[in-house]
Amino acid sequence: MPTLPIVGEVDTAVLVAQLIFLLPELILAVTGTVIVAISPLLRGRERPLVFVAATGVLAAFAGLGPSVGGAGEVLARMLVLDGTSTFFRPVFMLGALIVIGLSPDYLARRQVPAGEFYALVLFATVGIMLMASTHELLMLYLGLELASISGYVLAGMLRSDARSQEASIKLFLIGAMGSAVLLFGLSLVYGITGSTNLVEIGHALTGGAAATFRPALLAATMFLVAGFGFKMAAVPFHMYVPDAYEGAPTPVAAFLSVGLEGAAFAAAIRVFVTGLGIIQPNWAAVFAVLALATMTLGNVTALLQQNVKRMMAYSSIAQAGYILVGLAVATDRGISAMLYYVLAYTVMNLGAWAALIYLSHNGQSEELADFAGLGRRAPLVAWALTFCFLSLIGIPPTAGFFGKFLLFSAAVDAGLFWLAVAMAVNSVISLGYYWNVVRAMFMEEPATEEPLKASPVFGLGFTLAVLGTLLIGLGAAPFFRLVSAAVVTLP
Amino acid sequence: MIPLSWVLVSAALLFGLGLYGALARTNAVRILIAIELMLNAVNLNLVGFSRYLSPHDVTGQVFALFVITVAAAEAAVGLAIILMIVRQRDVSDVDRINLLKW
């Protein structure tokens, strides 16, 4: 009887002892399950569940303790503890925490079942955290599907709203197709290298498999680029994103734009750098073209939007284009810049989405006209939104500036001048559509003076996002060290 | 024994068929079925590689089992979404689900 490689010689006792490294994910999953179980008992008074969900995420932060400083592959090589996973897991939990804080007013207003919402956000967070912390293709796929399937349901949570339904079906059909394409690429990589572990795949490829099976490997790479392209919202795989984000409930759009996209980048770093590092010139060139197309098309199309929610969807496509520069450069500096940018993007983008959530839970729509006079009706929100926009454009001393600066200098360093110039030009273009909103807020008369309200929980979530944008920018130095340390461990 | 190339060619054909169906059809259920074809092509690849690379290595087969399970979960969610739309609007044609358009 041959030993089965999946379980290998791993001792069950060791396996159970190693579950401690999975503590954050376990806590999140258990919290989600508890919320599902108790929400029917609350008979519609589901508002307090926000505290259960937030407590779960905070406990999960504490659960990271044993994993910090750990190194190597644990749990039958399904989970990897290294700088990258140590970096990404808290980033994704921070994103989830902010989204949970921003949601309760919106959920109450639009009569979304809060229990289901929080549970699905928590499950999706488990999925994206697993995607970022594994070298195993199977685990990567399972994490991706856990996050994606939760996302399909979340997008359709306004059940009687035809636009939410449409967002859900578009996200589902394109998302499932993207997963299938990605999976086909993964199956080819497994066939070429005989392994599903990215480190072993890297060894097999450097050991000669890359030369022997070159055409098959290039084909597999194209499938992987396309599959990840769908999940990252990269042009030309972005067609569903504006529709999905516009129709989905606003907190869901916010969550998808930072969580799922961020996880796709994290997983892409692992697959391409760790696994397919040997054919780096091939995929890096493709990513360079994708980055240029994504940021340019995202920004130019965003200029044409009247609906701010749709504009933010195009803006997040453009931001994905900037992050892709990191993969196009594919040096250690490029990857660490990418990590920093994902962190900055998480807080600044959630801060901008928060203003949209604020308007819609006050019964406004998300057209540009609804922002008129917001500077007088809700000065704090208006200034915070302006600040997040400055960060998204890349103006100092915000987090976005340092992120762009790092990506820019990494591109120049690697000799990709044209891409660096394209980034700068695109930042200028993006000024146009953000300015439209800012002008409406501060220079136009409000249609009504009716005051806008928000609960303290919303305020906390918003503050967390805006403060994060400020602190990650002002105190950038420790975060630089963090991302540089995170990237060293990449082989 | 059937050569590996046969397995791979039929998987590639199946995948191409599924991709064509997913892109060319407009009925949501048909698209879903086309996507299932794509996933089955992946399974064929995985099991074929697993068998031919080394008879003792079951990684590919285990992977295929997981893919089948996840595909079932995905189909359940997808059909629920389609049902939700059909109940309210009586359309399952994606060309007519077009409120959101640039």
Q: Within a domain: residue A3?
A: no
What integer best gives the mean pLDDT of chain B? 90
Is residue A24 within 8 A of residue A67, CB to CB? The reply is yes
Q: Within a domain: residue A293?
A: yes
Average pLDDT over residues A397-411: 93
Of chain A residues 21-60, which have a CB less than 8 A from chain B? none
Of chain B residues 55-84, which have a CB less than 8 A from chain A? 56-60, 62-63, 66-67, 70, 73-74, 77-78, 81-82, 84
d(CA A272, CA A470): 32
Per-residue pLDDT tens digits for A447-480? 887 888 889 999 999 999 999 999 998 888 888 8
Nearest CA in chain A to B14: A184
More confidently predicted of A94 and A366: A94
A166–B58 C-beta distance less than 8 A: no
State the smallest CA–CA distance between residue B1 and chain A in angstroms: 18
pLDDT exceeds 60 at position A338: yes
Which ipTM was obtained for this model?
0.95
Beta carbons within 8 Å of A213's beta carbon, 6+ residues apart:
A192
What is each CA distance from A478 to A408, A409, A484, A485, in whole angstroms? 20, 19, 10, 10
DSSP string, A336-402: HHHHHHHHHHHHHHHHHHHHHHHHHHTT---BGGGGTTHHHH-HHHHHHHHHHHHHHHT-TTSHHHH
Say what the pLDDT of residue B101 is: 65
The pLDDT confidence band at residue A491, using thresholds 50, 70 and 90, is very low
Question: In angstroms, how far is CA A27 from the centroid of its own chain?
Answer: 21
State the smallest CA–CA distance between residue A147 and chain B in angstroms: 12
d(CA B93, CA A242): 20
Nearest CA in chain B to A149: B74
Per-residue pLDDT tens digits for B28-61? 999 999 999 999 999 999 999 998 887 788 899 9
Count Cβ atoms below 10 Å from residue A377 Cβ, excluding itself.
19
For residue A77, is it left (φ>0), alpha (ψ between -120 and 50) or beta? left
Is A301 part of the contact surface with chain B (CB cutoff 8 Å)? yes
Q: Within a domain: residue A148?
A: yes
Tell me how many residue pairs between chain A and chain B have CB atoms under 8 A apart.
127
pLDDT exceeds 80 at position A8: no
Say what the pLDDT of residue A7 is: 45
Question: Of B58, B73, B97, which is closest to A169 when you measure between CB atoms?
Answer: B97
Is A136 part of the contact surface with chain B (CB cutoff 8 Å)? no
Say what the pLDDT of residue A482 is: 82
E strand segments, A14-162: 72-74, 79-81
Does the N-terminal peptide bond of residue A478 adopt cis geometry, omega within 30 degrees of 0? no
The single-letter code of the amino acid at B42 is: V
Is residue A352 within 8 A of residue A385, CB to CB? The reply is yes
| Per-residue tokens: A203 | 């060894």
Say what the pLDDT of residue A487 is: 76
Range of the domain at A220: 12-488
Is residue A253 within 8 A of residue A225, CB to CB? The reply is no
Which residues of chain A are within 8 Å of residue B60 when distances are taken between CB atoms? 187, 190
Is residue A155 within 8 A of residue B14, CB to CB? The reply is no
- Choosing among A3, A135, A149, A169, which should be mutated to test the B contact, i.e. which has the most B CBs within 10 A? A169
B45–A149 C-beta distance less than 8 A: no
Which residues of chain A are within 8 Å of residue B66 when distances are taken between CB atoms? 138, 141-142
d(CA A411, CA A334): 7
A167–B100 C-beta distance less than 8 A: yes
Count Cβ atoms below 10 Å from residue A264 Cβ, excluding itself.
28
Q: Within a domain: residue A289?
A: yes
Per-residue pLDDT tens digits for A263-304? 999 999 999 999 999 999 999 999 999 999 999 999 999 999
Counted domains in chain A: 1
Question: Of A156, A187, A188, which is closest to B84 when you measure between CB atoms?
Answer: A156
State the smallest CA–CA distance between residue B64 and chain A in angstroms: 9
B15–A188 C-beta distance less than 8 A: no
Per-residue pLDDT tens digits for A79-121? 999 888 999 999 999 999 999 999 999 999 999 999 999 999 9
Which residues of chain A are within 8 Å of residue B70 when distances are taken between CB atoms? 141-142, 145
Say what the pLDDT of residue A488 is: 52
A246–B100 C-beta distance less than 8 A: yes
Q: Within a domain: residue A1?
A: no
What is the rounded radius of gyration, in angstroms, for the C-alpha atoms of chain A?
A: 22
d(CA A96, CA A204): 37
Question: Of B18, B35, B82, which is closest to A169 when you measure between CB atoms?
Answer: B82
State the smallest CA–CA distance between residue B72 and chain A in angstroms: 11
Is residue A267 within 8 A of residue A327, CB to CB? The reply is no
Q: What is the DSSP letter of A258?
A: I
Per-residue pLDDT tens digits for A19-54? 899 999 999 999 999 999 999 898 878 889 999 999
Q: Within a domain: residue A246?
A: yes
DSSP string, A412-466: HHTT-HHHHHHHHHHHHHHHHHHHHHHHHHHHS--S--------HHHHHHHHHHH
Question: Of B45, B98, B102, which is closest to A242 when you measure between CB atoms?
Answer: B102
Q: Within a domain: residue A6?
A: no
pLDDT exceeds 50 at position B78: yes
Q: Within a domain: residue A452?
A: yes
pLDDT exceeds 50 at position A370: yes
Per-residue pLDDT tens digits for A165-200? 999 999 999 999 999 999 999 999 999 999 999 999
Nearest CA in chain B to A192: B49
Count Cβ atoms below 10 Å from residue B89 Cβ, excluding itself.
14
